Structures are given as structure tokens and as C-alpha cells.
Structure 1
Amino acid sequence: MRPLRYSINVTLDGCCHHEAGLPPDEESMRYWTAQVQCADALLFGRVTYEMMRSAWRKPATGTWPDWMDERRLAFAEAVDGASKHVVSSTLSGVDWRAELVRGEVGPAVQQLKQEPGRGLWVGGVRLPRALADAGLIDEYEFLVHPVLAGYGPTLLAGLRERLQLELVDRREFGSGVVCLRYRPTRGED
């Protein structure tokens, strides 16, 4: 069974808006690139899929835009080349190496997890909350930025029940970002 990891940037006050943290530095971009490369597939909701596609899909010209420096290029190529699953009830189709996931999210994602491989990676805000409520996330990974945003969507807002997590890894980056990885304790005390 493939594990499902939820990974996201978050500020100290829990904001997970993609523009609320620090600008990505070389170390964090290398880290995110490695994480994407280790996943068998990326799992997105509609909003995250559309946002990621607009930023990280290679243009039809075959040339990346001028703003894409070296540290972003490796990440862009990893995301662009990755297999993707998009959970949406409103999209009629997807492209960019993606498959559309329809129906009830819990059984659909459980089926994806049953396939052989190293793991699935999910990002975003709303879809991860639904997956957490369904008990489908095997690992939570938060890159905590030393920033107080004071606005924006907060991490897993609206969870039905409290989740007890166990810290399994901690890494500090030179920028002050701290990567924290947790696993659910699954009701263990």
C-alpha cells in the first residue's frame, strides 16, 4: 500500500496561503524538488491543480519563462513531469499528465493508495482536510516559515476531530524554515 503524505508551507500562525511565507530559497526549493521526485504521483484538488499548472507547466514553446531561475527550474521540471491525480466534481477533463478522480473522495483515494509504489503526495487546503477527516493521510509534513501572516486560509481549518500526531522528523533550514514531519498515532496513547 502506498502511503499518502500531505506537504505544505505554513506560517507560524497557521496560514497556508502560498504567498504568505518566505520567498523560496535554494535549500527549500531543493527539498521540495526531492519530495516531488520521490512520489509516484501528485494528488490535487481543482484549485491547487489549476494554480500549480499555471505556475509549473512547461510552456508550449518548450522554453521556461525568464523568471524561472535555476533553483525553480529543477522543481518546475519535477512537477511538470510528475503523474497527477485531480479530485474534482466540476472539471470535465484534465491534462498535464493528469487523471481526473471522480466520485466519493475517500474510496477513490483509498484505491489509489492500494496501488504499488513508493507513495502519493498531496498539497493544498480543502482536499487534505477531507482526506484527514477520512483518516487517509499517513504522514503530515509542514515547512514552517518564521512569519506571522495574520490573514489567509489556515492549516486544516474545519477538521471534524482533533488529530493526535507523533513527530518523526525535524529539519532546520538556513532561512529559519523548520520542516516538521508527523504521523498520526491512530488512537494510540
Structure 2
Amino acid sequence: MRKIIAALNMTLDGICDHTAGIPDSEIHQHYTELLGQGDAILYGRTTYKLMEFWRTVLENPSEEQSMNDFARAIDKIQKIVFSHTLENIDWESATIAKRDLKDEVLELKQQPGKDIFVGSRSLIIQLLKLNLIDEFQLCIHPMVEGKGLYLFEDINNRIIFKLVKTKTFNNGAIILYYQQKKE
């Protein structure tokens, strides 16, 4: 069974806005490699629209090779977008989900293949409430943003996780790998 992995960047104060954080070549390379280990990534409309930025990097490559590599990786991986307002999308590797989040994810988990990533805060919260996230990979950037979206809003029940691994970057960011403790 495939795992559903919530992979997200956030700051020390819990802000997970895509404009927060300190991306560098090492972090871009990490996420490029991570995307190669999965079959798909789930997005909500807002995050999907933000990720379309990487299409411009494909068209006009950056001087930073790690950004170009990430742009190719994000272009290649299947993107499943959950939206009630988008009627069509023109990114060749993206589709709009035809079922609700729970049904779509349950079916994806049963299919053979590599893991499925979740890259949108709103979907992470919904999937956490549905008990469908198998692993968190939280990249904590060494900064306080002070404003923005908090990852764990609207969670009303206690959920306990166990730390299974860490990865530290030269810029001081650290990825914490958590799996939910099974009772």
C-alpha cells in the first residue's frame, strides 16, 4: 500500500506560507530527489496556482541549476488538484480530481506504485482529520516569519507522532520525519 506523505516547509513559528522559508540549492536538491520517489502530489487550487511558477523556470531557466532541476521534477510528477472553482487546467501533468478528497486518496493508496505527496496546507488539515496521512516531512527553516498561515489550525483532537528520522541542511533548516503513533 502506498503512503500519503505530507511534505511541507515551515518556519520556527509554524508559518507554512509558500513565500516563507529560506530555500537554497541544497533544499531544492532535496525536494527534487523527493519528487523522484513519488508518483503524484496533491494540491488545492491556491497552492497549485503558486506552483505554476515553476513552469516559467522551465521556459526561462534560472542561473541556479538546482531551481532548474526542481522545475523539471515538479513538471514531471503527476499533480492532482482539488478545487470546486477550477474548471480546467493546462499543465500537461496535472488533472482536476473527479472525486472528493477522501475517496480519491483511499483509491490512490490501494493502487500499486510509489508514495503520494501532499503539498497543500488545506489538504493536509483535511487528510489529518480523516486519519489518512501516513508520514509528515516538515522542513523547519531557522527563522520567525511573524505572519502568515499556520499549519495546524482547526485541529481539535490530540494526535501523537513519533520522530523516525531527521535531516539537517547547511543553512540550519532541518527536516523532521514523523509517523503517527498507532494505539
Alignment of 1:106-117 (within 5 A): 106-117=102-113
Pick which of 91-100 and 124-133 moved more.
91-100
Pick which of 88-97 and 77-86 moved more.
88-97
Provide the residue aligned with 1:157 in structure 2.
153
Amino acid at match of 2:9: N
Say yes or no: does 1:176 pair with 2:154. Answer: no
The alignment yields a C-alpha RMSD, in angstroms, of 1.5
Provide the residue aligned with 2:35 in structure 1.
36
Amino acid at match of 2:64: D
Provide the residue aligned with 2:24 in structure 1.
25
Q: 1:112 to 1:94 in 2, by over 3 A?
A: farther
Distance 2:141 2:95 in 1: 32
2:138 to 123, 137, 142: 142
Once the 2 structures are TM-superposed, how far is the Cα of residue 150 of structure 1 from its aligned partner? 0.9
Residues 61, 68 of structure 2: 8 Å contact kept? no
Provide the residue aligned with 1:70 in structure 2.
65
The alignment of Structure 1 onto Structure 2 pairs a total of residues equal to 182
Residues 44, 84 of structure 1: 8 Å contact kept? yes
Distance 1:43 1:154 in 2: 19
Residues 16, 151 of structure 2: 8 Å contact kept? yes
Distance 2:56 2:111 in 1: 28
Distance 2:107 2:38 in 1: 16
CA offsets per residue over residues 51-80 of structure 1, 9 Å max, x none? 101x11257xxx632545211000000001
Kindly, what percent of the aligned residue pairs are identical?
Answer: 35
Q: 1:136 to 1:58 in 2, by over 3 A?
A: same
Amino acid at match of 1:87: F
Provide the residue aligned with 1:91 in structure 2.
86
**Which segments of 5 or more consecutive residues in structure 1 lack a partner in the other structure?**
none
Amino acid at match of 2:87: S
1:130 to 120, 126, 134: 126
Amino acid at match of 1:17: D
Distance 2:152 2:143 in 1: 18
**Which segments of 5 or more consecutive residues in structure 2 lack a partner in the other structure?**
none
